Amino acid sequence: MTQLVCIITAVLIYLPFVKIASRRLETAQRQAENTQITDNA
């Protein structure tokens, strides 16, 4: 049971970091797409 609790707490701690990382990746991809569009034009 103690291992399960440790895993759950670790997941709860890491979840916000994962969300922030995914958002940063999305914004980076959008910026890359925008730069490609401006370069083509």
Residue that is written with structure tokens 């083509």 in the block: 40
Q: Determine the pLDDT at residue 37.
A: 72
**CA 41, CA 30: separation in Å to the nearest integer?**
17
pTM: predicted TM-score of the whole model, two decimal places: 0.54
**CA 5, CA 1: separation in Å to the nearest integer?**
6
Q: Where are the domains of the chain?
A: 1-29
- Vertex 25 angle, CA 6 and 23, to 5°: 65
What is the full DSSP assignment across 6-40? HHHHHHHHHHHHHHHHHHHHHHHHHHHHHHHHHHH
Q: Determine the pLDDT at residue 41.
A: 58
Residue-wise pLDDT for 1-41, tens only, equals 899 999 999 999 999 999 999 999 999 999 988 887 777 65
Q: Determine the pLDDT at residue 4.
A: 95
